C-alpha cells in the first residue's frame, strides 16, 4: 500500500531575478538614440553639434574635446562632475584611486586655469548624482545586515534609476575618455574596495556566492539573499510508517495554524525522514528551512535498509555555514534514534541534486506475502524462480494513478533468490530494474502487471511487508 505522496522536484539552477542588476558585466548601458523624426515634425533649420544639454540654465559646450585633453577635463569640471567621476572618465592614470585621484586631477586643472573653480555650473554631479558620497552608508548597511551571518564570498549588485544611467551614458560616451568606466561598475567596485578594507578575507565572485547582496541606489535599501548549502548522505529507514518528505495534513492542507485533525502541526505524519534528518541540522545552522532530495523514495510502510538511500539535504538561508559534519551526524543520531539512521554526511554543491535525482539504480528487495492453498512448495518455488530475468509490463498501479501518468512501463526482474515458505506465507529476495513496482509484481494489481507471482502460482497473493535491502547506486 503506497501512502507517500510524490514530491515535486525543486527547480534547479534558476537565475535569481535580482542578478539582472549584478556587477557581473551587467553594468554597461547602451542607449539607442535612433528615433527618426517625421518630415512634418522636423525643424526647418537646426544647427548644432551633439545634444543640447542644459545644466541649471547654462548650456554644455559640446564642441570641447573629450578627455583626457586639458580642455575636456576643464569642461567636465565646469558641468559639476565629482572627484570619483572625474577620475573614472578622465582617462588619466594615477597612483591614487577614486576620489583622491579625481581631486589630484582637479587641482592640476585649477592650476592651469585659476578661473575654473568659479565656473562650475552645479552643486551635484550630473553623472552619479553624488551617489559615491553614500558608499560608506551603503557598506555600513550591508555589513550590519550580514553581521550575524557566516560568509566568505559575495555576489554584489546595485539597481540604479534608468534615467540616471541614460544621462550618465550620454555624457560619458560624448565627453569622457574612450573606454572610460561605466557608472554601475565603478560604484560596485568602490563598494567592494570599502568592504575589503573592513574584512580582507571576503571574496567577490560572479557565481556560487555564499550571499547575494542587492542595493537600491535610489533608496539605499539593502536586500540580502543567503544562498543555501547542501549535504550529501545515505539514510536507512528502520521503522515503518514514516514518509520520506513532509506530508501536509489532508484536512487543513498544511496551514500554518493546523487543525484539530493534525493537532495544530499541519502534518499528516509528525515524523518524516526529511525532518528527522533536517531539523537538527537546520537548528544547528540557524537556517530557515530544508528541502529533501532523495534518489527515489520508498512507500511509507516500507523500510530502507542496507547502506541506505542516497539523498541531498538543502539547507536554506543558514546563518552558520560550516560545522564539522561529524557533529551534524551525531545530532541526527540523537534526534532520529530508532527511526532513521545516517552514518556520514559530506558537503556538496547543487549539482549533486541532479546526480541523485537522475540516477537509475537497480534495487534489491525482500518481500513477504500470503498465498493460501499452496500444497507443493517445490513446484511453487520453481514457478516463482521462473520469473527471474523476465520483462514485466506494468500499467500504472491504481494506488498511484492519481499522481502518475497512465501508461505501461517495461521493467526487468534481474534475479530472484531465497524463496522461503512458512505455512501459507512466502518470503523472497529479488533484484529489479529501477522503477519496478514490486508489490504489483506479487499481487498483479488485478492483472495490470504481467507476468506476476500471483499468475504463476495461480493463488491470490496479499503483500504483508516489503523492505528495500540495497540500492546499488555505486
Asked which of 50-54, 95-99, 302-306 is least confident by mean pLDDT, the reply is: 50-54
237 vs 47 pLDDT, higher one: 237
Is pTM beyond 0.85? Reply is: no
Torsion sign over Cα 462, 470, 348, 435: negative
> Among residues of the chain, what percentage have pLDDT more than 90?
69
Give residue 311's pLDDT.
97
C-alpha–C-alpha distance, residues 312 and 321, integer Å: 16
C-alpha–C-alpha distance, residues 294 and 274, integer Å: 10
**Residue 470 host element (H or E):** strand 461-471
pLDDT average, residue stretch 315-344: 95
pLDDT average, residue stretch 371-396: 94
Catalytic residue from among 83, 210, 299, 445: 299
| pLDDT at residue 299 is higher than 70 | yes
Give residue 270's pLDDT.
87
110 vs 43 pLDDT, higher one: 110
Structural fold of domain 229-358:
Alpha-Beta Plaits (3.30.70)
Domain ranges of the chain: 17-29+51-149+165-199, 229-358, 363-471
C-alpha–C-alpha distance, residues 445 and 423, integer Å: 24
Is residue 77 classed exposed, middle or buried when 0-12, 13-18 and 19+ CB atoms within 10 A define those classes? buried
299 is catalytic: yes
The hierarchical CATH code for the domain 363-471 is 3.30.70.3190
Q: Residue 167 forms beta bridges with which residues?
A: none
| pLDDT at residue 103 is higher than 50 | yes
Tell me whether strands 363-371 and 461-471 are parallel, antiparallel or unpaired.
Answer: antiparallel
Give residue 60's pLDDT.
54
pLDDT average, residue stretch 162-188: 92
pLDDT in tens, 258-287: 787 877 787 888 899 999 999 999 999 999
C-alpha–C-alpha distance, residues 426 and 275, integer Å: 35
Give residue 73's pLDDT.
93
Give residue 84's pLDDT.
93
| pLDDT at residue 210 is higher than 50 | yes
Confidence of residue 120 (pLDDT cuts 50, 70, 90): confident
Cβ atoms of 453 and 442 closer than 8 Å: yes
Give residue 29's pLDDT.
38
426 DSSP assignment: E
pLDDT in tens, 162-172: 999 999 999 99
| pLDDT at residue 26 is higher than 60 | no
C-alpha–C-alpha distance, residues 204 and 17, integer Å: 19
Q: Grid coordinates standing for 92?
A: 588619466
pLDDT in tens, 140-164: 999 999 999 999 999 999 999 999 9
pLDDT average, residue stretch 120-127: 86
Confidence of residue 64 (pLDDT cuts 50, 70, 90): confident
Amino acid at each position: 500500500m503506497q501512502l507517500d505522496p510524490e514530491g515535486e522536484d525543486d527547480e534547479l539552477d534558476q537565475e535569481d531575478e535580482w542578478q539582472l542588476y549584478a556587477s557581473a558585466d551587467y553594468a554597461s548601458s547602451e542607449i539607442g538614440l535612433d528615433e527618426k523624426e517625421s518630415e512634418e515634425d522636423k525643424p526647418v533649420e537646426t544647427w548644432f553639434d551633439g545634444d543640447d544639454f542644459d545644466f541649471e540654465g547654462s548650456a554644455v559646450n559640446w564642441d570641447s574635446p573629450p578627455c583626457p585633453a586639458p580642455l575636456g577635463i576643464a569642461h567636465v569640471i565646469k558641468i559639476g562632475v565629482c572627484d570619483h567621476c572625474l577620475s573614472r572618465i578622465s582617462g588619466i592614470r594615477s597612483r591614487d584611486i577614486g576620489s583622491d585621484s579625481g581631486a589630484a586631477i582637479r587641482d592640476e586643472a585649477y592650476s592651469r586655469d585659476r578661473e575654473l573653480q568659479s565656473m562650475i555650473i552645479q552643486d551635484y554631479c550630473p553623472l552619479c548624482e553624488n551617489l559615491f558620497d553614500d558608499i560608506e552608508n551603503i557598506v555600513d548597511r550591508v555589513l550590519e545586515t550580514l553581521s550575524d551571518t557566516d560568509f566568505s564570498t559575495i555576489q554584489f549588485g546595485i539597481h540604479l534609476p534608468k534615467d540616471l544611467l541614460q544621462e550618465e551614458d550620454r555624457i560619458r560616451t560624448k565627453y569622457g575618455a574612450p573606454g572610460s568606466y561605466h557608472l554601475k561598475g565603478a560604484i560596485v567596485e568602490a563598494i567592494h574596495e570599502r568592504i575589503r578594507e573592513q574584512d580582507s578575507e571576503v571574496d567577490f565572485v560572479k557565481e556560487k556566492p555564499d550571499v547575494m547582496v542587492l542595493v537600491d541606489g535610489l533608496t539605499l535599501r539593502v536586500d540580502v539573499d543567503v544562498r543555501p548549502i547542501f549535504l550529501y548522505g545515505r539514510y536507512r529507514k528502520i521503522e515503518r510508517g514514516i514518509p520520506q518528505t513532509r506530508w501536509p495534513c489532508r484536512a487543513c492542507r498544511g496551514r500554518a495554524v493546523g487543525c484539530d485533525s493534525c493537532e495544530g502541526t499541519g502534518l499528516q505524519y509528525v515524523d518524516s525522514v526529511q525532518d528527522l534528518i533536517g531539523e537538527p541540522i537546520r537548528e544547528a545552522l540557524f537556517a530557515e528551512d530544508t528541502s529533501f532530495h532523495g534518489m527515489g523514495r520508498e512507500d511509507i510502510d516500507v523500510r530502507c535498509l542496507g547502506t541506505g538511500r542516497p539523498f541531498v539535504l538543502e539547507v536554506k538561508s543558514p546563518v552558520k555555514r560550516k560545522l564539522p559534519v561529524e557533529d551534524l551526524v551525531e545530532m541526527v543520531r540523537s534526534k532520529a534514534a530508532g527511526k532513521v539512521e545516517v552514518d556520514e554526511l559530506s558537503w556538496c554543491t547543487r549539482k549533486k541534486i541532479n546526480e541523485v535525482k537522475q540516477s537509475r539504480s537497480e534495487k534489491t528487495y525482500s518481500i513477504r506475502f500470503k498465498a493460501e492453498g499452496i500444497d507443493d512448495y517445490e513446484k511453487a518455488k520453481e514457478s516463482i524462480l521462473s520469473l527471474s530475468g523476465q520483462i514485466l509490463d506494468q500499467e500504472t498501479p491504481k494506488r498511484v494513478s492519481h499522481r502518475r501518468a497512465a501508461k505501461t512501463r517495461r521493467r526487468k526482474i534481474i534475479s530472484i533468490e531465497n524463496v522461503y515458505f512458512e505455512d501459507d506465507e512466502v518470503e523472497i529476495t529479488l533484484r529489479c530494474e529501477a522503477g519496478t513496482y514490486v508489490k504489483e509484481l506479487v499481487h498483479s494489481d488485478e492483472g495490470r502487471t504481467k507476468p506476476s507471482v500471483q499468475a504463476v502460482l495461480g493463488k491470490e497473493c496479499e503483500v504483508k511487508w516489503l523492505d528495500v535491502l540495497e540500492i546499488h547506486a555505486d
